[in-house]
Amino acid sequence: MKPFPFLLLAILIFLSPDARAAWNTKEIEGQDHVALEEVAAAFGMQPASKRKDPREIAYSGGAHLLIIKTGTREAIIDGVRHWLSYPIATSGGKPYVAVTDINCTLGPAMSPASVRQIGKVQTVVLDPGHGGHDKGGRSPYGYEKDYTLDMVNRIRKILEAKKVKCVQSRLSDFFVELAERPEMTKNYKDPIFVSIHFNSAEWRPSANGVEVYALPPLGSPTTGKAPDPILDRRKCSGNAKEPASFVLANTIHHTMLGKTGAFDRGVKRARYAVLRHCETPSVLIECGFVTNPQEAKGIHSSQWREKYAQAIADGIIAYMNLANAQKLPPRVWDYKRKSTDEFVWEE
């Protein structure tokens, strides 16, 4: 196998200042799209075995795996779930993917070293979600605000043992305004911002698993929501580092899944305040559901929290190795975890 020419082509296309000049594009529903087979070929992939669902199409090769489902925004890239900005379209019987999703999801997921916005990292700003009067979600055992603080304390201890400089948005049980949390990054050299949370879904106690959020590309909708012509186009500080934020989210997600065995809810996009206001690479991690009976019991366990803290810390280290030493981050396969294979309804 000689994947280098394909990888080089993919990187050159991804870095092109005008993607439309690099791809054979077709306008569908107001967005420029590229035939999926053309994108797959650029990454050295060929059609893989047919899936049971005729709407699902797989490509593999060149050390990559891509599975899509036409008509949805869901994709499985190199073993983990991702949520695209736009549905996989069909035209003339062929699947097409939006150029935005090539440049902002497929490209950086499969070629993270090609993302120009990734800079050196010297400081990790850790943000325990909620605090004080804002208790966050509630389980039968306790409140989210307490679990997030404990998790951040554990992550910080692990990172500092590896000589990584860490700071926190709060050190005890008090509330910090959302905009002030990412503002802290301006006080430190070469920082990244990682916000820790736990999920809640009282209306569906069976909901479980982990998900990591990055800011959506400017002009694109958030995961699970229809395009909004006003909100989607509103510029914010986080737009400048959105590509690097995605790589940070993807790297941590691979590591969390590989080291914890949690259900894969995917790398998602949202305009949370702490991500909008952050001028450095930033992510928000939902570590599990306090409203799921089994996960709530696990979250209340110190052994569980230590395991997840170690996974998140390892994901941060993997991103720092990419940023500081150009070392490609591990994927779920490197942890002997099988690829995510099932598609779920978008949420």
Tell which wins on pLDDT, 170 or 6.
170
Q: How confident is the model over 207-229, as a mean pLDDT?
A: 96
Q: What CA–CA distance (Å, rounded) separates 128 from 151?
A: 8
For residue 151, give Cα distances in angstroms to 78, 249, 306.
28, 18, 7
- DSSP for 246-283 reads HHHHHHHHHHHHHHH---EEEEEE---HHHHT-SS-EE
* Gap between the Cα atoms of 189 and 164, Å rounded: 12
Query: How far is the C-alpha of 185 from the C-alpha of 224, rounded, in Å?
Result: 29
Q: What backbone phi and psi angles, to 5 degrees, belong to 227?
A: -55, 140
State how beta strands 94-98 and 31-35 pair: antiparallel
pLDDT above 50 for 20:
no
pLDDT higher than threshold 60 for residue 15 = no
Encoded amino acid at 258, one letter: G
Angle, helices 242-260 vs 302-325, to 10°: value is 140
Q: Where in the chain is the domain with CATH 3.30.457.10?
A: 4-113
Q: Amino acid identity of 112?
A: P
- How many alpha carbons fall within 13 Å on the CB side of residue 221? 16
What is the homologous superfamily of the domain 4-113 according to CATH?
Answer: Copper amine oxidase-like, N-terminal domain (3.30.457.10)
Q: Over the stretch 161-172, which tens digit does the pLDDT of each residue have?
A: 999 999 999 999
Q: Does residue 278 register a pLDDT over 50?
A: yes
Reported as a single tens digit per residue, the pLDDT across 115-162 is 999 999 999 999 999 999 999 999 999 999 999 999 999 999 999 999
Residue 135: what pLDDT? 98
What tokens appear for 258 in the block?
A: 């590989």
Number of H helices, E strands in the chain: 11, 15
Confidence band, pLDDT 50/70/90 cuts, at residue 346: low
Q: CA–CA separation, 267 vs 82, rounded Å?
A: 5
In tens, the pLDDT along 149-189 reads 999 999 999 999 999 999 999 999 999 999 999 999 999 99
- For the chain, where do the domains classified as CATH 3.40.630.40 start and end? 123-335
Burial of 173 (0-12, 13-18, 19+ CB in 10 A): middle
**Spatial distance between the Cα atoms of 143 and 300, rounded to a whole number of angstroms:** 10
CB 319 within 8 A of CB 247: yes
Cα separation values, 111 from 23, 171, 249, 272, Å: 17, 37, 14, 26
The class that CATH gives domain 123-335 is alpha beta
Given phi > 0 = left and psi -120 to 50 = alpha, else beta, which region is 133?
Answer: alpha
CA angle 166, 170, 175 (to 5 degrees): 160
Other CB atoms within 10 Å distance of the CB of residue 28: 15
Q: Which of 264, 270, 258, 268 is nearest to 308 (CA)?
A: 258
Read off the pLDDT band of 21 (50, 70, 90): low
Distance of CA 256 to the CA centre of its chain: 11
Residue-wise pLDDT for 31-76, tens only, equals 999 999 999 999 999 999 999 999 999 999 989 999 999 999 999 9
